[in-house]
Structure 1
């Protein structure tokens, strides 16, 4: 295992093309060196690259706080080297690599879930797209006053990002889109980037979309700070009725999807689940937001983490709640035993301790584990609106 070097670009592109598909000759922006905000490791055998893993620099919202996260991507092994332990060696190497860089959690979109489960990642959240007939959106309720909309310009990008984060920070699992891995100006390349302007240069909401063919509209973001703005943006999508058949909506905000859209009895939702792993438990606890802690009396829970691939946090800890904060200290009785795979769903709040117990990932008396559920408000859905 070694770090990426710029001279690896050609080999890594061909390795990725074999694994995931793509043209034989890459466009310039397809090369690793052309992409910002990441680090990478490669596996070599006899002087040739046989595996790769890229770690994108992200921050992911949990409890309203943006937690440093390593997003694993481009995990690939050359066909002739598969089955020889290359992939697990790369995952073993990338865990301390992320920890050294302060990436206290890690997420990925798995093509081979069993592989990642052996190293502590577990299914935690969803990346969903819904397909609706355009006329269904045209029939939605209308806002009291239809908002004025206009095409976004470069000057609007900071306010547009602020509107996104005002919503994303309230949805566990969303990325803050504020790290070097993102290029905010790229949104202006889309066919549609329409905003609802607010006062003093703010943005009340926006919709971004592409029309890739004559049959559908591919909507990337629909973000709104309030009901009337959301209804106005949905009405703008409904205005395509008669011009195209379908609207594909990336589900960014559960508020408009669950509470404003009138769904037909039958509709299609495609989901690409993502997995989460806690890389460094004490640091992750310190970085996360804990809104429920402000309503809890001083208390603690003793846990024991079983994690052979991250020995730096394996062992006994005490989670302490005091004055609205949560800390993870060494020691305690280990009354609640957690496997490495349990940490991600617990940290995110996507699974409660009863679920983890039934899955064989937690061993404890229910009363001893109760505080873990109170802290995260588990179980609740976790959502991401970016794939990588």
Structure 2
């Protein structure tokens, strides 16, 4: 302890108070306990609250999410963070009843074929009987069973998700199933999504098994002994939330930071590096300058580009080229008796070929417990 106190603190500024910036600040504080010198973390956020797009509101018995309603536990870092924060008892999975979703096809809701796993089927007859695909579309998807695997000529070779689905499964599989399913998760155009970054498992399936359908069928056979069946549509067993909403994660991270380390309404408008003193200088919107030893930028790419333009113009140009999808989340509440059809699924997704303004709809009270009054 005496040795830690004899060193001046190593000052780190985290710019951006969304979930990335919050998790970074928390990790720095967490790891600083094991260092031989003190670390002083300051978090700067332009808005009046932390959390970025994550926001939860409780109103008249409803739990309303203003942003994401869950995270994917298959990518284990968010789950591990929740466990380290002591939120394990508050994690909840999706509801056991009505574990299916729907797809809009020619203006009507059709259930996703039982056993359909994002891009391809694991069960034959539900897929064959589904009206979502034409017979030509079904035959084209079945051709995946005989198509050769694509040999990669370079390490880490990549292609778009759309290109991969068209190549393996055909145009209808992309337009009527993959695009709306992936769009519902990533809110993005599969033509611009990296397969390796978003769905690397399917790339591995092609390399290891050649056929996606065959790989998924073998995977399903291994899961036969599992007590819980694999649902259709997106991987609901892997979607996890918190019993009182996603903002619980934000609030818990904020509570774990040292007093005085969070600075709200404090936009960073200028960033400089002084080589001689080996320090960074940040100018806030109110004109105040802050000096630190290290900076972590947890901002959107276009915001990063503005800060880095005078430091690294080439990097700033690349950051400017990254495109973002603009979306709006709308929460609506109805009495169940006022809805003419049963809500016997987690929700529905809408293919782009339907030319609608809506991407997807989640029946929150079916997907997660405690989201709406019981009456």
TM-score, scaled relative to structure 2: 0.24
Q: RCO (CA 8 Å, sep 6+): is it higher in 1 or 2?
A: 2
